[in-house]
Amino acid sequence: MDSDGSIVTPFTRLLGIRHPIVSAPMGRASRPELAAAVTNAGGLGGLGFSWDSPQHIEELIGAVRRLTNDGPFLANFVLEWDQHERMETALSAGARIISFFWGDIAPYMDRAKAAGALVVHTVGTPEEARRSVDLGVDILVAQGNEAGGHVWSRLSTMVLVPLVVDVAGKVPVLAAGGIADGRGLAAALMLGASGVWLGTRFLVSTEAACHSDYKRRLIEAASSDTIETTLFDGGWPDAPSRVLRNRTVEAWETAGRPESGSRPGEGEEIGRTPDGNPVRRYSFAGLLSDGQGDIDDFVIYAGESVGLVREVAPASEIVRALIADAAQTIAQRAGHSTKG
Ligand SMILES: Cc1cc2nc3c(=O)[nH]c(=O)nc-3n(C[C@H](O)[C@H](O)[C@H](O)COP(=O)(O)O)c2cc1C
């Protein structure tokens, strides 16, 4: 703990930031307003670019650079798709922290490094972590199975983080999945992590670009309302994700869990994206702030930490509370002396 109230770790030192907190990239829900709010509060803001056109990526990076006065931000790419062109655009537009998930980073490493970028990789096993370290990754994210959105790991965060820390050497490890408050941050540090990577908590921030009905659903949800499923496979097949149980899930279960292609309401239009494109039932696209449709028809990504999230808050307030509560938790626990 620093005298100014920040928590200093190898991760904060590497990036020159105040707080070991990252707002996780969450596709189109993580836009410049959210990333900038987190960076400006002393953390690191993440942006998801996996499905954007190169021109849009340039605009988004221009926006986050303006909003942060050229502060750090993280540009994320899901490797289920070829991301060379998008990464190239992001690097040219000034991205200096490149993050990957869901695939082989080897084909991207040389170019990212040659551009002077730091490379972050989200892993689900210690084996994947070791390979990433051998390839020269700068930061590892250990994402446990309780995480919201697409989940790569079968292991819980509690087990995965120390396993990854054990093979990471000097590479800082961030803990992801199941962390939504200062107690989670404190616990992650105790497991050897250098910081935390929070999705679900920042999805319920004022700045997140998901629909207000989506945020309301997350506030109402209990942790036991999430399931891991491949049901929402439209556009991204065979990829398990953690979502909230809703009408679409229940109708499919009632129908006896039929295969893709013969599910209730398969292919029907359930709403529109903010650009006016139709969204079909079982699509992997969530309901965004300017999108149209009923949240009960859409996929609702959420991690088990959803039960800890009780209100929409500005991202800067989330960062502040995480640090204050973690510091308090650590101080209180330090007071529990071991008597033997
Ligand atoms: C709505 C949503 C969208 C996500 N999209 C992405 C993405 O585009 N790229 C990525 O690497 N991870 C993505 N994730 C996973 C997060 O980066 C992060 O690992 C996860 O949210 C951490 O778990 P938590 O939700 O318990 O905090 C997404 C998660 C959510 C909830």
Q: With a 6 A CB cut-off, is 178 part of the ligand 1 pocket?
A: yes
Average pLDDT on 223-252 reads 98
The ligand 1 atom at the shortest distance from the C-alpha of residue 122 is 11
Tell me what pLDDT residue 337 has.
Answer: 58
Tell me what pLDDT residue 340 has.
Answer: 44
17 and 117 inside one domain: yes
Tell me what pLDDT residue 148 has.
Answer: 98
Asked if 139 contacts 197 with a C-beta cutoff of 8 angstroms, the reply is no
Mean pLDDT across the chain: 96
User: What is the pLDDT confidence band of residue 277, given thresholds at 50, 70 and 90?
Assistant: very high
User: What is the pLDDT confidence band of residue 6, given thresholds at 50, 70 and 90?
Assistant: confident
pLDDT exceeds 80 at position 1? no
Burial grade of 170 (CB within 10 A; 0-12, 13-18, 19 or more): exposed
Q: Of 199, 211, 213, 162, which is closest to residue 308 (Cα–Cα)?
A: 199
Query: What's phi and psi for 202, nearest 5 deg?
Result: -80, -15
What is the whole-number distance in angstroms between the Cα of residue 24 and the centre of ligand 1? 6
Residue to mutate (ligand 1; options 123, 150, 236; most atoms within 8 A of CB):
150
Q: How are the residues of the chain apportioned to helix, strand and coil, as percentages rounded to the nearest 5?
A: 40, 20, 40
Q: What whole-number distance in Å separates Cα of residue 235 and Cα of residue 105? A: 22
Q: What whole-number distance in Å separates Cα of residue 4 and Cα of residue 16? A: 15
278 and 195 inside one domain: no
298 and 319 inside one domain: no
What is the whole-number distance in angstroms between the Cα of residue 202 and the centre of ligand 1? 10
Helices (H) and strands (E) in the chain, counts: 12, 14
**Does the residue 65 lie in any domain?**
yes
160 and 279 inside one domain: no
25 and 54 inside one domain: yes
Q: What whole-number distance in Å separates Cα of residue 78 and Cα of residue 215? A: 24
289 and 188 inside one domain: no
Tell me what pLDDT residue 72 has.
Answer: 98
The CA angle 44-212-81, to the nearest 5 degrees, is 55
How many residues make up the chain in this entry?
340
Residue to mutate (ligand 1; options 26, 60, 108, 121; most atoms within 8 A of CB):
26
115 and 218 inside one domain: no
Kindly report, residue by residue over 128-167, the tens digit of the pLDDT. 999 999 999 999 999 999 999 999 999 999 999 999 999 9
pLDDT exceeds 60 at position 96? yes
Average pLDDT on 252-278 reads 96
Query: What Cα–Cα distance (Å) separates residue 328 from each residue in 34, 91, 176, 186, 211?
Result: 26, 39, 21, 9, 33
Task: Provide CB contacts within 8 A for 296, sequence distance 6+.
Answer: 246, 247, 248
132 and 46 inside one domain: yes
Average pLDDT on 88-110 reads 98
257 and 183 inside one domain: no
Look up the CATH number of the domain holding residue 194.
3.20.20.70
> How many structural domains is the chain composed of?
2
**Does the residue 150 lie in any domain?**
yes
Q: Are strands 118-123 and 21-23 parallel, antiparallel or unpaired?
A: unpaired
Tell me what pLDDT residue 80 has.
Answer: 98
Q: With a 6 A CB cut-off, is 157 part of the ligand 1 pocket?
A: no
Q: What whole-number distance in Å separates Cα of residue 154 and Cα of residue 26? A: 20
pLDDT exceeds 70 at position 323? yes
Which domain, by its residues, includes 276? 212-305
188 and 225 inside one domain: no
119 and 198 inside one domain: yes
